[in-house]
Amino acid sequence: TLVMAGNLFMQAVIDGGATLLPIDSEHNAIFQVMPQQRSRQLANMGVKRVLLTASGGPFRNASLQELKVVTRAQALNHPNWVMGPKITVDSATMMNKGLEVIEAHWLFNALPEQIDVVVHPQSVIHSMVEYIDGSVLAQLGNPDMRTPIAYGLGYPERLTSGVSSLDLLTVGRLDFCPPDLERFPCLRIAYDALNMGGTAPAILNAANEVAVEAFLAEKIGFMDIPHIIENVLTASSIGQVESIEQLVAIDVQARRIAKQYISTLC
């Protein structure tokens, strides 16, 4: 919803006087270490940027040549998380992190340049917030969705989640590296869509869903996914988001363009 209609959704939150509690582990982590007061600008809260951590998926160390021949089974073999097929493929392409960047923009009123992605294979640090004084606050825990779900259910109190305690001595080390946008262009394309603004993220989302569906059906290759998304964005007219009805129509149109383009590849 935030990817397609972020401005409409956040305005509804404001109009309704609601408290929005993000459950996705990365956004939940950021929410936990953000200042309690809410402001229109991150800088007014002393925040410099937010850092979304990414596992890197099953192909973190794969070469570009290896990515071109990735199979469905390989893409569905995530090293850290057990998820549904679509989101698992999104993790493999790093589109999931691109969508999370767009969501973070709306959830935390962060500019694209205030959102960075850091590849962290252990998935122990779920995300971080850097403050203007040089402090970096992080939320850590075992990779288990029961933690953010319990946080949301109990807020503002804490509930027992059933998740085992994090043993840093067993973890041993925490590694970090920047994402490779050549091998994982979906992340770059998501940033491009966010910078385009308006209906671009909705088009991105629709094209990605159709492309991933085609990959799971073994109609296209793994590296065809970003190619399809970029072509749909190029072929589409970008406008301002005005209504849910408008976005539904744009979603249908983007899916049609994506399917037509896929038919030329099959």
User: 137 pairs with which residues across the strands?
Assistant: 129
Q: What is the model's pLDDT at position 43?
A: 85
Q: Look at the block and give the residue holding tokens 């992605």.
A: 117
Q: What is the model's pLDDT at position 103?
A: 97
Q: Look at the block and give the residue holding tokens 């007219």.
A: 237
Rounded-to-integer distance, Cα 147 and Cα 32, Å: 12
User: 86 pairs with which residues across the strands?
Assistant: none
pLDDT above 80 (res 138): yes
Rounded-to-integer distance, Cα 33 and Cα 41, Å: 16
pTM: 0.95
Rounded-to-integer distance, Cα 72 and Cα 94, Å: 15
Mean pLDDT for all residues in the chain: 95
pLDDT digits over 26-38, tens only? 999 999 999 976 6
CA geometry: angle 162, 168, 169, nearest 5 deg: 120
pLDDT cut 90: percent of the chain above it: 91
Confidence class for position 39, pLDDT limits 50, 70, 90:
low
